[in-house]
């Protein structure tokens, strides 16, 4: 059980579920009828949430298993406590999990219509591209991770009009992935040209989404003038905390690699607090509480896994 939880990376899976639920809640509560997914709207809310949870979980588990299978030789040298590296989970089991997960995600997406099904298949293809090619090119890999997060959010509601939450999540993933990449000292190095590519990619895709919202008249939702207050507050808190954390660890070469992993895990968890902020701004208190619960569940699961890893493998630093 512990090995499977560590394989699935709770922060990635739970934050993906949170992002998907946010889009569903925003679509139901804020969007006009022409921007909603008519297939989604015909289901009870609990069933729609269940479908999006299956899609998000399936795609995340598929991507994580694929990543660990392809990186097993590297992980045996640098992350020897991962379940596949140690052999506690067999490679055929991971392959089966990957296939079952992606097929389950696509199957759930068929209940949300052909556009959602296409987006799900396209996202699965993007995950495959990232793991086979993209992650070996620094700028391409960082941009791909951010776009995969954005595509995952569009699966439930492909016609989503108010896309600022997608912009925030995409930008957050891109910036934090780049920071963690540099801090970890990964190769090939993220030098000036690659860094310029990341900045250009971020600006391009954000501008495209902003233009899309402007064309559809959804840049501002006048009925919710304080919608941005709580997400912006979460962004400021993260910025201050991340700056202090990076300042503390950036100069320590002995702990910098482990600190980079920790930073990336916390930054992924923080996506859930952005979602809670959007829900608070929209006045959806119950959904805000649900997102806070998801954050606590992911955080406590990570803490428990770290405690288990420390007790079982004291000689090997904990890495998810």
Domain boundaries, the chain: 2-312
Token pair of 19 as six digits: 């992002």
pLDDT above 90 for 266: yes
Which residue has better confidence, 313 or 167? 167
Main-chain phi, psi angles of 228, to 5 degrees:
-85, -10
Q: What is the pLDDT of residues 133-142, one digit of tens each?
A: 988 888 999 9
Average pLDDT rounded to a whole number, residues 267-277: 97
- In 3D, which of 272, 35, 14 has the Cα closest to residue 165? 272
pLDDT at 29 (0 to 100) = 84
- For residue 185, is it left (φ>0), alpha (ψ between -120 and 50) or beta? left
User: Are the beta carbons of 24 and 49 closer than 8 angstroms?
Assistant: yes
* pLDDT for res 32: 74
Residue 1 banded pLDDT, cuts 50, 70, 90: low
For residue 208 the two structure tokens come to 């495209």
| pLDDT tier, 78 (very low <50, low <70, confident <90, very high otherwise) | low
CA distance 294 to 273: 9
CATH superfamily of 2-312: UbiA prenyltransferase (1.10.357.140)
State if pTM tops 0.85: yes
């Amino acid at each position: 059980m512990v090995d499977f939880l560590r394989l699935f990376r709770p922060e990635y899976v739970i934050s993906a579920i949170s992002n998907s639920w946010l889009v569903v809640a925003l679509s139901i509560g804020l969007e006009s009828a022409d921007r909603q997914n008519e297939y989604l709207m015909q289901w009870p809310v609990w069933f729609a949430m269940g479908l999006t949870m299956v899609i998000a979980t399936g795609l995340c588990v598929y991507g994580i298993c694929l990543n660990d299978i392809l990186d097993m030789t590297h992980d045996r040298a640098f992350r020897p406590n991962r379940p596949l590296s140690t052999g506690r989970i067999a490679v055929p089991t991971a392959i089966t999990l990957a296939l079952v997960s992606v097929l389950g995600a696509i199957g759930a997406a068929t209940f949300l219509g052909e556009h959602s099904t296409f987006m799900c298949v396209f996202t699965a293809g993007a995950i495959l591209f990232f793991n086979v090619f993209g992650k070996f090119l620094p700028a391409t890999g960082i941009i791909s991770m951010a776009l995969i997060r954005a595509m995952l959010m569009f699966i439930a509601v492909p016609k989503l009009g108010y896309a600022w939450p997608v912009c925030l999540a995409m930008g957050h993933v891109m910036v934090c992935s780049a920071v963690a990449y540099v801090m970890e000292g990964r190769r090939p190095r993220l030098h000036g040209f690659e860094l310029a590519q990341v900045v250009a990619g971020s600006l391009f895709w954000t501008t495209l989404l902003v233009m899309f919202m402007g064309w559809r008249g959804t840049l501002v939702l006048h009925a919710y003038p304080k919608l941005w207050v709580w997400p912006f507050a979460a962004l400021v808190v993260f910025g201050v905390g991340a700056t202090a954390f990076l300042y503390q660890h950036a100069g320590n070469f002995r702990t910098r690699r482990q600190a980079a992993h920790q930073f990336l895990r916390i930054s992924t968890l923080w996506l859930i607090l952005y979602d809670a902020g959007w829900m608070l701004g929209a006045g959806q208190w119950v959904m805000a509480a649900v997102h806070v619960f998801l954050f606590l569940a992911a955080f406590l699961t990570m803490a428990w896994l770290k405690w288990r890893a420390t007790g079982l493998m004291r000689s090997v630093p904990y890495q998810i």
